Amino acid sequence: MSNLILLIVFLSGFTSLIYQVIWTRLFNIILGLYIHSATLVVLVFMVGLGIGYYFSTKIIIKNKLFFYGIIQVFIGLYSIFLILIFPYIDKIINQIMIYFISFLILIPPTVLMGITTPIIVQYSNEIGLHNFFYKIYGF
């Protein structure tokens, strides 16, 4: 079971990094400068992960692994939706609001990403894999 959880965590983190790179490149098209898009995406990631972590400590989840899977599905669906609407974003919003709207567009999946780590850690503890994540991240 620990190998399965390790694979799940690896794939989740890997796809999150892929999303970060894709979103940075997409927003570079609208914002015009890479430094602006990279700053925006990293900012939203940090805020979203923090908010997600906070909310994950406030909700009670019975089937944590199922909930984790549902969150991952929502992140994927939202990312597909973002790619589909992206060509129309710059036509909808003006330059003054672009940073705020961009923040609002990216915050939902990053909040969900922030929920995933605490959920999988709680699940690992419930099935007897205590200190499993300390070993992963701390070697």
Question: Average pLDDT of 87-109?
Answer: 79
pLDDT at 137: 67
**Confidence check: pLDDT of 41 > 70:** yes
CA 30 vs CA 8, 15, 20, 99, 122: distances in Å: 33, 23, 16, 10, 39
Least confident of 58-62, 87-91, 115-119: 87-91
The domain segmentation of the chain, as residue ranges, is 2-138
pLDDT at 25: 92
pLDDT in tens, 7-33: 888 888 899 899 899 999 988 888 888
Q: What percent of the chain has pLDDT over 90?
A: 20
